[in-house]
């Protein structure tokens, strides 16, 4: 057993390690997958790869990559969440079936919610048709853009 004088420093070290290990504080909501990993590819303005898993931004839609506006959306995501960044993906509990082999979720990167950022930047639109089938529809950002 440790002497009393060592217990407080050990507790502090454990707390600090936990704070460092949880990069986004609150983590994920619900029961679906919660993934922490590195961005390995920016596919387009509303899809990235995290540890080579394809992740689609819940409730958002950007122009296709062959369109000039789609290229701008992709470049914007590359700027705010470059390849190699650590992200937290909160899979949408109401859309666990995915879309075209992609996980649908809320993505946090560098202290920002990418779903919200792509809307705020004007590079994307809210996917109103999914507001009734998304765990994130009641989020402030989703309501602000039309859910």
- What CATH number is associated with residue 124? 2.40.50.90
Asked if residue 80 belongs to a domain, the reply is yes
Asked if residue 102 belongs to a domain, the reply is yes
pLDDT value at position 15? 41
In this structure, which long-range contacts are made by residues 70-76, counting pairs with CB atoms below 8 Å and at least 24 apart in sequence? 70/44, 70/45, 72/45, 72/123, 73/44, 73/45, 73/46, 73/118, 73/123, 73/124, 74/42, 74/43, 74/44, 74/45, 76/45, 76/117, 76/118, 76/121, 76/123
Total domains, the chain:
1
pLDDT tens, position by position, for the chain (147 residues)? 556 665 554 454 544 444 444 444 458 988 899 999 999 999 999 999 999 999 999 999 999 999 999 999 999 999 999 999 999 999 999 999 888 889 999 999 999 999 999 999 999 999 999 999 999 999 999 999 999
- Report the C-alpha gap between 22 and 7 in whole angstroms: 23
pLDDT value at position 132? 96
Asked if residue 10 belongs to a domain, the reply is no
Asked if residue 14 belongs to a domain, the reply is no
Asked if residue 53 belongs to a domain, the reply is yes
Strands 53-57 and 47-50 come out as antiparallel
Cβ atoms of 62 and 115 within 8 Å: the answer is: no
Q: Which domain covers residue 108, as residue numbers?
A: 31-144
Asked if residue 123 belongs to a domain, the reply is yes
Helix or strand run (H / E) with residue 18: helix 4-21
Q: What is the pTM of this model?
A: 0.80
pLDDT value at position 6? 54
pLDDT value at position 116? 98
């Amino acid at each position: 057993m440790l002497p009393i004088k060592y217990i407080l420093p050990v507790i502090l070290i454990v707390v600090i390690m936990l704070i460092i290990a949880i990069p986004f504080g609150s983590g994920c909501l619900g029961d679906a997958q919660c993934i922490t990993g590195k961005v390995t590819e920016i596919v387009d303005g509303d899809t990235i790869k995290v540890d080579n898993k394809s992740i689609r931004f819940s409730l958002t839609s950007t122009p296709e990559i062959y369109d000039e506006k789609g290229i701008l959306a992709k470049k914007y995501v590359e700027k705010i969440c470059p390849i190699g960044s650590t992200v937290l993906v909160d899979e949408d509990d109401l859309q666990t079936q995915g879309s075209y082999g992609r996980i649908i979720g809320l993505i946090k990167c560098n202290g920002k919610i990418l779903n919200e950022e792509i809307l705020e930047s004007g590079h994307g639109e809210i996917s109103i048709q999914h507001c009734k089938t998304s765990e994130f529809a009641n989020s402030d950002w989703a309501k602000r853009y039309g859910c």
